[in-house]
Amino acid sequence: MLTGWQPDEPLLDPMCGSGTIPIEGALLAARRAPGLGRTFAFEGWPGHDAARTQDLRERLAALSRDPPAAVLASDRNGGAVRLAGKNAEAAGVARFVRVERRDAVDVAPTPGPGVCLVNPPYGIRLDRDVEGSWKALGSLLARLSGWTVGILAGDAAVAGMLPGRPARSLEVQNGGIRCKFLIYRP
């Protein structure tokens, strides 16, 4: 939301890991209400109106649609790609999210504008080839002309490896880790 992404624009996560960003994006684009397929504790309370809850569920389900633009996910790690696919399946959006095994340096963005969101490794969160990941991300950033790019960065030193300066930088927390959310408009 901080990038201004709208569901009619492609969404790309080139370092998708378990698939959280593309899955959440697909759910938003498909107008899927959170928790629609689960039950809640209040449903067991005395006086709960089950018919009213069912009516609400049906009205929310009727708002669903196929996402109007591509939701793309990739990762260089085959295990991450398999996990992202399984998670997309469990979330009910597997047919909306294209998951591929591909290094960020090799990602070919769709033509036209879109939004790239990425939570790359930054030493604290993941420590495998942090520098290589950020170099690959910098290479991709150079090919995303017309796109908006949002990057979670836990370490200013690795973020400094990216070309150019962010249009906006916000202090955020990610899993209890103080980070910057960098927004680029290459």
Instruction: Please give the Cα distance from 149 to 59 (Å, whole number).
Output: 34
The percent of residues in the chain predicted with pLDDT above 90, rounded, is 70
**Domains of the chain, earliest start first:** 11-30+66-184 (3.40.50.150), 38-64 (no CATH)
Instruction: Compute the average pLDDT of residues 86-95.
Output: 96
Which amino acid, one-letter code, is at 155? D
How does DSSP classify residue 113? -
Residue 127 has pLDDT above 70, yes or no: no
For residue 41, give both structure tokens. 């504790």
Query: What average pLDDT score do residues 47-53 get?
Result: 97
164, pLDDT greater than 90: no
* pLDDT higher than 50, residue 125: no
Angle, vertex CA 23, rays to CA 179 and CA 159, nearest 5: 25
> pTM higher than 0.85 for the full model?
yes
Run of H or E including 22: helix 20-29
What are the phi and psi torsion angles at 156 (to 5°)?
A: -60, -30
Please check the confidence at residue 102 and state whether its pLDDT lies above 80.
Answer: yes
How does the average pLDDT of the chain come out, rounded?
91
Average pLDDT over residues 118-126: 70
